[in-house]
Chain A
Amino acid sequence: MTAAGEPVSDDAGNAPPQGRLLRKYAVLLAAVVAGALVVAGAVQTWFSAAEHQGALVRIQREKAAAAAQTIEQFIAGIEGQLGWTTHASAYAGQEGAERRRFDFIRLLRQVPAITELTYIDGTGREQLRISRVAMDVVGSGIDRSQEPAFAAAKAEGAWRGPVYFHKESEPYMTVATAERPSDGGVTVAEVNLKFIWDVISRIEVGRSGRAYVVDANGQLVAHPDISLVLRRAALTGLPQVAAALAGGPADEPMRAPDPEGREGLSTHARIAPLGWLVFVDLPVDEAYQPLYASIVRTGGLVLVGVLLAALAGLMLARRMTGPIRRLQEGAAKIGGGELTDRIDIRTGDELEALAGEFNRMAARLQDSYASLEHKVEERTRELASARQRLIDAIESISEGFAFYDGEDRLQLRNSRYKELLYGGTDIEIESGTPFEAIVRRAVEVGLIREAYDDPEGYIARRLAQHRKPGPPTLQHRADGRWILISERRVAGGGTAAVYTDITELKQREMELEAANRRTEEAAKQISQKHRELEALSNKLAKYLSPQVYASIFAGKQDVKLISQRKKLTVFFSDLVGFTEMTDQMESEDVTQLLNQYLTEMSRIALEHGATVDKYVGDALMIFFGDPESRGVKEDALACVRMAIAMQKRMRDLSALWRNAGVEKPFACRIGIHTGYCTVGNFGSEDRMDYTIIGGAVNLASRLEHEAPEGGILISFETYAHVKDEIRCEEMGHIRLRGVGHPVAAFNVIDLHKPPKEGHEHLRVESPHLKLDLDPAQMSAEERIQAAARLKEALKHLLHLDRAELLRRDTPVEETPQSGRDASRETSSE
């Protein structure tokens, strides 16, 4: 059996379906038997149903007929009873009339159904009426000759009237019988038909069947449910009633709804003398109930039969298919290569013969297979030796070499390949291993650095590269080796791979690279330092005069405690009344105001090439001539020009500040002197200041103190240098504190400018001074007059001022100078 399984698994495509034959036979046999059983059951049910229905209908019809007969007998009995009173001869004369009355009373006693008896004589006159309900009437003589009861009974001897309902509730009929000698009277009886209800109620049809009576007009006369009768139901609408009234045959049962609306099987019988019909209806459910039971029974039997048939079919089929299966299994073994196997079947029929043929075929196959095997062996040996030579050859080369076939399985490789691939591990590489498995193994063991981060991605890339080899690639191994991989597709499928160890080469390259990187790093650090220094010096520059800064950084000047004498032009300026103002203002506002002032002034100074020595509060100390000099004259000129520009700018600033809310505008005083100073670095070794000292500095400061508000006071030395360019006003000799001799001072007025067309329009507006001077609009006469007036005013002003100053200073100081802020004086010395 295990051998039989092999061919199936080896060749699953056309595996012989197991047991299908058995199933086929079993199903066929079962189907035949079951079919026969079903047909038999159906036929049986059909006939028994027909029989059952026939019996049912017969019983129904008999019951209907019996009921009809009972009713007929009831009517006939009443008529028979009436017959006793119809011998005219017996009731002749007065005595006869009394006897008739007595007989009528007796008749009423005997027949409870009769409620009234009437005798109508031969002429149609009512002679006697005996009633159970109404009063008896004797000899009323009412003419009733026209009534059908009388007329019809006279003509035919007897008459039965239609059913009528007394007080809409009880069914009645009139029965009339004529007296025997035909010229006699007629006895009319009113008959209560409730009796029929009793007859009908007693008819039992199955469990829920009903019998009911319908008169010739289709009117329901009797029904077990008296309500239906009392409602005077007309049943002509029911098909069975309509058919029966139309004279339909009483033999055939009819499927129709009964008066209560239930679907039923209806039969009927005729009550011939009355023309009435007795119906017997059995609800279909009940009528067919035995039929359904029989169907269920038959169904059960058929089911059992089918099960038995299936069982028998299974057994039979198993006996038939057993040898066939053995044959199939034997054939499968031989097909699977077990040529020594033989099939053993001893059924003594065609199957055994077939097995014999199979065995012979197997023997022949065994023979031919043996010789084939020998040839194959020989050829294999030849191939092996050729292969060994090839292996030896590739083993001798120093690179790793491998060859993968068209399906990417390793065919050939030398030991160097293995060493390079799985160096340092004891992983074996079998021939026939797929390339993917080899790479995956190397990655899993962690031999390839490139695959550390994304092993799957690396494998996919490596495979792609392997299948479509490009230029040689480098691989970095976990042990640090570098391997150059060259792969090439070979004609006829397959890939040849050559692995070269280039670790040493790679190491050199990397060392070189590292050296380069270090150099770059150093350069980067240097430039970084440089940038820091630059930033630092930029910051420092703000504390130094740009010229000093520039000359220091240009390397022209050493930062040493060295000084030298030079002829410089020194400039001092100061805001008048600033200290008082600062007491009245918020410090933030003062700072802003002062910074703006100093910034503006410094800018102007730099524009004119000045060296800003220092700021002391609102005071500025500036000099020209060091570190760079354009010559003493040029320096002095530049200084005075700068002072003029500053005063001009001050006027603009005053306007701005006034707008910003500074009540009293500031005025600036400037003093300038040109003379020899000692210039250089003064201070200690740790902290030094680049500045100037000397009498010239002091003189300039004193001049500044003496300058008018908004004015520029220069010494004669300066004036000598600038007089060609600058218009000045001689102030005479003035005494200055700390200066031994009177100093000739000049007040700077303006630049000498060539007279121009459209002379500048001068507009000055300050407290107690309003000036609108437009020389362009003036005549020459007017200009001369204006100049004279202004000169006078100026003289007046200067005179007043001086007088004031003299008056103020005299009691306090020995010198006629004003006592200014001591700190400021010292700062400039």
Chain B
Amino acid sequence: MGLRLAVFRRMSVIISVSTLLVLPPPYAPAQDLTKVWHIGLCHVGIDHEPPALHTLHQALNDLGYEDGKNLRFDWRNQPDQAAAAATIKEWVTASVDLIVGFEDQCVREAKAATSDIPIVFVHIYDPQAAGYIKSLAWPGGNLTGPVSNLSLIAKRLELLKQIDPDLQRVLVLFDRDDPYAPRELALVREAAAVLAVELIERDAKTAADVQRVFAGLESGEVGAVIVASPDLQTNHPRLIIDLSENARLPVAAHRKGWVEWGALLSYAPDLALAGPVAAQYIDKILRGANPAELPVEELSEIVFTLNVRRARELGLTIPPAVLLRADEVIE
């Protein structure tokens, strides 16, 4: 299985590398060698880094942008949306060349802060629904980027149910202020109806909220945990996993990193792959392309990561059909 994934990965890398070779002339930012591009990269969630951060940085370096020479890679990880807003305001004042917003909170603030500075978004769900772009083919504003996150919450619930056919109740955490939350909730409710699962929906914004929710759970009240809010996912991932672990509850996550931390499974595109693609966007924009004309590319390759060890700890047996689906299995 691991080998297959590796092949798939290599293929992706080949795609990006060959695209790189063929598309723009390889002699990188040739317009102005003395120019130091100032790129502001913003993310909310200080207990982790966005999966695509390193791949993006590496891809930029590969494209000829060298830190300290012609690139100022201004990475700021922020504790909350307000801090992110302040950072972006600072960047707008300083007239940075480009802003990269990891996940919606930063992108929202960046969009609110400027309509001139190009914004490349990474790790977002539905830019059209969020109002970042006019259409995928013609973004029409100063925002563009890859769409690496797909709304797969229903699929995650389905996988939980397939792993544990006796699953009756699932804790659904959401942040009421997250604009995505209603849609995610709708999707998961629809799936729950099909799967005959009862959802215990809990609103949580702060870490205290999350702790309160978990503290308020009665033993056996829920059989699994799912998060229906991207903001919440990025704000308190560790906390949610740790509390779930304490409560011996399986978590269906949206990125592989969570599985490594202790979630049962993750079913999502490989977010790290968004890095090189975002780097392509950045390169094109810095070379003069208009973000309004750069179509949004969707990364649709989904990776299903399964933590078998965790399943064993929870006393769960993974059915062969599920095991077969898993792209990556952590023993």
Contacts and interface: CB of A to CB of B under 8 A. Distances in A.
B155 A227 contact: no
B300 A168 contact: no
A231 B137 CA distance: 5
A208 B26 CA distance: 11
B324 A168 contact: no
A112 B270 CA distance: 14
Given A109-B325, A112-B8, A210 B19 contact: no
Contacts, number: 86
Contacts of B284: 227
Interface stretch (B10-18, B64-72, B106-114): B10-18
Contacts of B152: 133
Interface string B288-304: 00000111111011100
A170 to B, nearest CB: 6
B154 interface: yes
Contacts of A407: none
Interface stretch (A99-107, A239-247, A393-401, A577-585): A99-107
B103 interface: no
A135 B301 contact: no
A252 interface: no
A829 B22 CA distance: 152
Given A201-B22, A202-B14, A134 B298 contact: no
A20 interface: no
B15 A135 contact: no
A645 B321 CA distance: 174
Nearest to B191: A135
A112 B19 CA distance: 20
Contacts of A197: 15
Given A167-B136, A167-B298, A231-B137, A101 B321 contact: yes
Contacts of A166: 298, 300
Contacts of B191: 135
A109 B138 CA distance: 33
B154 A210 contact: no
Contacts of B300: 115, 133, 166, 170, 192, 194
Interface string A349-364: 0000000000000000
Contact of A102 (B138, B195, B293, B321): B321
Interface in B52-80: none
A558 interface: no
Nearest to B294: A227
A662 to B, nearest CB: 108
Q: Looking at chain A's contact residues, is the secondary structure mostly helix, strand, loop, or mixed? A: mixed
B14 A133 contact: no
A774 B18 CA distance: 151
Interface in B126-152: 135-138, 147, 150, 152
B11 A224 contact: no
B33 interface: no
Interface in B179-211: 191, 194-195
B320 interface: yes
Contacts of A724: none
Given A201-B15, A231-B138, A170 B22 contact: no
Contacts of B302: 132-133
A230 B324 contact: no
Contact of A230 (B22, B137, B155): B137
A600 interface: no
B4 to A, nearest CB: 8
Contacts of A208: 25
Nearest to B135: A168
A625 B287 CA distance: 140
Given A112-B301, A168-B135, A169-B136, A224 B19 contact: yes
Contacts of B25: 208
A166 B296 CA distance: 13
A232 interface: yes
A201 B154 CA distance: 34
Nearest to B12: A198
B137 A226 contact: no
Interface in A216-230: 224-227, 230
Indicate the size class of the contact surface on chain B.
Answer: 35 or more
Among A108, A109, A232, the one with the most B-chain Cβ atoms within 10 Å of its Cβ is A109
A134 B293 CA distance: 30
A184 to B, nearest CB: 23
Nearest to A132: B302
B104 interface: no
A136 interface: yes
Interface string A95-135: 00000011001101100100100000000000000001111
Contacts of B154: 134-135
Contacts of B4: 109
B321 A226 contact: no
Contact of B22 (A101, A133, A136, A204): A204
Nearest to B5: A112
A394 to B, nearest CB: 104
Contact of B23 (A134, A136, A168, A224): A224
Interface in A293-333: none
B158 interface: yes
Among A167, A208, A225, the one with the most B-chain Cβ atoms within 10 Å of its Cβ is A167
A226 B158 contact: no
Given A198-B11, A201-B22, A133 B150 contact: yes
Interface in A194-215: 194, 197-198, 201-202, 204, 208, 210
Contacts of A169: 136-137, 147, 295-298
Contact of A134 (B11, B155, B324): B155
Given A109-B325, A134-B154, A227 B295 contact: yes
B14 A232 contact: no
Nearest to A168: B136
A305 to B, nearest CB: 39
A313 to B, nearest CB: 49
Contacts of B137: 168-169, 230-232
Nearest to B326: A109
Interface in A141-179: 166-170
A169 B294 CA distance: 12
Nearest to B8: A112
Contact of A201 (B18, B155, B158, B294): B18
A412 B107 CA distance: 123
A105 B135 contact: no
A24 B154 CA distance: 96
Among A102, A168, A170, A204, the one with the most B-chain Cβ atoms within 10 Å of its Cβ is A168
A230 B295 contact: yes
A204 B135 CA distance: 32
Contacts of A133: 150, 152, 155, 300, 302
A105 B300 CA distance: 17
Contacts of A108: 325
A740 B297 CA distance: 167
Contacts of B158: 135-136
A104 to B, nearest CB: 10
B228 to A, nearest CB: 15
Contacts of B136: 167-169, 230
Nearest to B158: A135
Given A102-B321, A132-B302, A201-B15, A231 B295 contact: yes
Contact of B325 (A105, A168, A198): A105
A115 B137 CA distance: 22
Given A132-B155, A169-B137, A226-B295, 5 more contacts: A132-B302, A135-B158, A169-B136, A169-B298, A227-B284
Interface of A: 101-102, 105-106, 108-109, 112, 115, 132-136, 166-170, 192, 194, 197-198, 201-202, 204, 208, 210, 224-227, 230-232
List the 5 closest pairs (A to B, CB-CB), nearest first: A230-B295, A201-B18, A224-B22, A169-B298, A169-B136
20 contacts: A106-B324, A109-B325, A112-B8, A115-B300, A132-B155, A133-B150, A133-B152, A133-B302, A135-B194, A166-B298, A168-B137, A198-B18, A201-B22, A202-B14, A210-B22, A224-B18, A226-B19, A230-B297, A231-B137, A231-B295
